[in-house]
Structure formats: structure tokens, C-alpha cells
Amino acid sequence: MDISEDTERWLRTAGYQYYCFISYPKIHGDIGKFAWRVKDAIQKQLAATVHNPQVFLDNTDIPHGTDWERMVSRSLCGSVVMVALCLSAYYRSAHRWCGLEWAAMEKLGSKRLTGHTLRPIVPIMLRAERPVPDAVLRTQYVEMTAASLTWEKYCATLEFKKSIRQIVDYIGDVAEAIAINRVAAENCPDFLVSGESAFADWRPLRQEFPLHVRQ
Amino acid sequence: MTAEESKPGQIITFYSYKGGTGRSMAVANCGCWLVKSYPTLPRGVLIMDWDLEAPGLHRYFAEVTERSDNKDRPGIINYFDALQQRLKNDPALYDRLDDDNAWKVLRDEFPLDDYLVRNVISGVDFIKAGRYDAAYAELISRFNWVDFYNDCGAVFPAFRDLLLHAYDFCLIDSRTGFNDVSGICTMLLPERLVLVFTPNLQSVAGVLDLAARAADYRLASNDPRTLSMFPLPSRIENAEHDLKQTWQKQYQADFESVFRSTSWMPAT
């Protein structure tokens, strides 16, 4: 759904600084670059209907020397939707912040989207690995598994562009729903992401041995 | 920051479905080319002979590998055999391997040093398939990779990460065919896969099948690295120009078709 001018205006006055917050595990440079491409594509697509839309990505939107945890927390609170780049590293305890961001956004969404079936998180599935945590399985996801074999090259594909359009439509739906509920992004400067990871109970499974021919 | 703590290196596997493609020679040449082209590599290049059933890569570096101090040096199969024994006797060590920093445990507790033939050419280290003594054949047929993986699977990502941190480039000469060792070489360890083939149907069909399986395996894997694939035609007869052109068109179309079907090369 396109975001109406009224909704755009209301979101701005109600403290929503970002339409989208990109959450991802920092495992290597490729996923960092891909996260940037997702941010850029969502921002450009949103710009078709919204004036100067902002999408948060920690790498580009946190100035050097600032308090990282506070900035991430404040920005998450001031975001309409969180897009999560999901592969097993996202659920691992080594990347606990991903699970904390997920839990915090779910909590914010439960207040903001009361009465709606919409959720405030869009998982992008980058791998077909199993198991997927329950919290992720409960949410309708966008599949981009091919991206994790080619990363930046994938961003030139029709599949990527189509998926970004779907995500932006969804952001529009959530934005309109929040505006209808009239729930402002309150106290974001004091908001702190903390507590338990949404994936605290998740344990990875070992993949079967490759090319194993059973006797 | 030490060299091994900086940006991880790359593992590149050279695979051919059939023998006689010139794969081992390509590995040896690629190692030499890398150190010549990048003389300031901080960690250098490692070449590993994983063709356990038919090892021969050491012969390209015979001046060094056949020297008295290296001739009886153990290799890959000896490393994993010794590691398996150690883990049986010390289960607590395995618990420490089930962790993101497992490669450091392996580096400290089970280093590669004794297995390395240093500087086969300047900047290139080498690990043989094994110690080629009377026990070698028995050892490679006795060692059960599938059981070892099922019992001690965390060893493989730890070993992979150890290589990535110890070297800028690690080149693997894979065993041919579809089997346990070629599975490790093409699916568990590399992020780049060079598919070496000669212009005949069996050779091409074999690498294409492997490429599809490797892409599927990586997509379902918790290894976050990409898997880039590079087709490398070999033993091309330049005198037969028309035939060469026909083959080139055919295998290019075959590779594109497989890459598309495995999501490796989606439509733009």
C-alpha cells in the first residue's frame, strides 16, 4: 500500500524518524554491503511516494564516537518496520544483538499494531537452513536465498527488485495501521534494547555429511 | 593485530569429475602465480593434496618435498587420524570446538606445523595427502570420514577457519568423483570452486552435477560464505577450430542452465 500524505505527516510528528530499520549479523563484508543495498533499494522505492524517506543501517547512520547501543535502541524505537536479514548467524548467541533487536521490535509492535494481524518485522530469508526459530516461523517472510550465493550480483536481478517492492508495500501497510491506531513513537531517546534474545532457546542443527551415499 | 587475526583468507578448491584433466598442475601453477603476483601477502599460500587415493601433487615440488627432512612428514590423513584419536581420549577438547572461536582451540591444541612442508617455493607451504609409508593405503581405507563427521562435526568448520586465518589463500586439490573426500573438498571447505573439465560428455556432466549439489548444500548450510564457481576447460585441441567452437557453445549453455536452476545466477 502507498503511504498517504496524511500518514506521512502524522508519522513525522509522532516521532517516527525511520520507515525501516535494517537488522543483520556482522559476519563478513558481503552481508554488510548487501544490507546497504537493501537499505538503498527500500529508500529509493519509498521515495516514489514519500518525501525524503529514511531507512536506518548502523554502518552508515551512526556517527563515529557516539554511543552505539543508545543510537541503535533509539533508532529501532523510531522505526515503523524492522527488516531482518536471516541466516543461522542471526540466531546465534555470538550475535545476541540481533535477537535483542527482534524481541524489542516485537514488543514495540504489540503496542503499535493492536487489533491488526500485521507484525512489525519482515524477515528476509537468506538461507534454506533448518531449524528456523519459532519467532521467525510465525512471521511471513521474503525469500532471497539466492542472494547468499552471490550477494551484490543478486541486487541486479528482477527477483530482488520484486522482493523490495513487496517489502515497501508492507511498510506502507504497517505505517497506515500505526497511523490508524494513533500510537506515537514515544520516549525513544530513553528506550534501551535489553532483556532476553528472541532466539535464546534456538540451537543449530548439524547438516548431513555432503555427498554421503548410504550403504 | 597479528596477520592471522586480520581479514580471513580464501579457500579455493580445484575439482574435476574425472582424472587426467591437468587439475593438479593447475593447482600448483595457481599457487606459484599467486605469490608472484602478490609478493607482499602477509600469510602466504597453502596448497593441500586432498586426492588421498591418488596423491601426486607433491611431485611438482619434489626438490623440497623429497628432501630428507620432509620425505616422511605426515599429511592430511595423518592429521585427521591423530585428531580423531586425541578427541577420543580427550572429550573435553571437543566441547571447546563447538564454538565460534574453535579455530583458535585447534591452532593451540592441534597446530598444523608438524604437517607443513614449508616454502615449496618461496611463500607457498604444502601439506601432502599423507606420509607415504607402508601403512598409508591401510590408513586411507580405514579412516571413516562420515563417522568422524557424525561424531565430531564441529572439527570441520574449526579446521576451515584455522586455514582461513593462517593463510591468505588455501588451494585444495580435490579427489575426483562423488565420494566422502570430494564432498569435504567441494562443499564443506571452499568459498571458490574451480570446476576443471575436458571436452567430453562425462567430464562436463560430472562437474555440472557436482556444481548443482554444492550450491544446494551451501544454500542449506550454516556456513555464511558464498560459493563462487569457475568453469575451467582443459586439454582443448586448438587445431580443431570448428569442433572447439561447437563445444564451447555447448558447455557454456550447460553451465548457465545449471547455475540458473540452482539460483546461483538468477535472471537479471
Domain ranges of chain B: 3-194
Looking at CATH, the fold of the domain delimited by A5-181 is given as Rossmann fold (3.40.50)
User: What is chain A's mean pLDDT, rounded?
Assistant: 93
Max CA distance (Å), chain A: 67
Q: B86 pLDDT band (50/70/90 cuts)?
A: very high
pLDDT reported for residue A2: 87
**Which 3 state secondary structure label does DSSP give A120?**
coil
Q: Could you give the C-alpha distances from B5 to A208, B1, B9, B161, B167, in angstroms and in order? A: 30, 6, 10, 11, 11
Q: B99 pLDDT band (50/70/90 cuts)?
A: confident
Q: Under an 8 A CB cutoff, do B222 and A127 touch?
A: yes
Q: Report the residue of chain A nearest B152, measured CA to CA.
A: A206
Mean pLDDT of B94-122: 92
Residues of B in contact with A94 (CB under 8 A): 100
Residues B34-55 have pLDDT tens digits of 999 999 999 999 999 999 999 9
Residues of A in contact with B213 (CB under 8 A): 210-211
**Which 3 state secondary structure label does DSSP give B114?**
helix
Residues A186-209 have pLDDT tens digits of 999 999 998 899 999 998 888 899
pLDDT reported for residue B4: 53
Q: For A129, which of B150, B182, B222 is closest by C-beta distance?
A: B222
pLDDT beyond 50 at B1? no
Domain ranges of chain A: 5-181
With a cut of 70, list the residues of chain A below it in pLDDT: 213-215
Of A45, A81, A43, A54, residue with least CA distance to A173: A81
Q: Under an 8 A CB cutoff, do A129 and B149 touch?
A: no
Q: Could you give the C-alpha distances from A145 to A38, A129, A159, B116, B210, in angstroms and in order? A: 14, 10, 11, 38, 19
CA distance B183 to B177: 9
ipTM for the whole complex: 0.86
Q: Which CATH number fits domain B3-194: 3.40.50.970, 3.40.190.10, 3.40.50.300, 3.90.1150.10?
A: 3.40.50.300
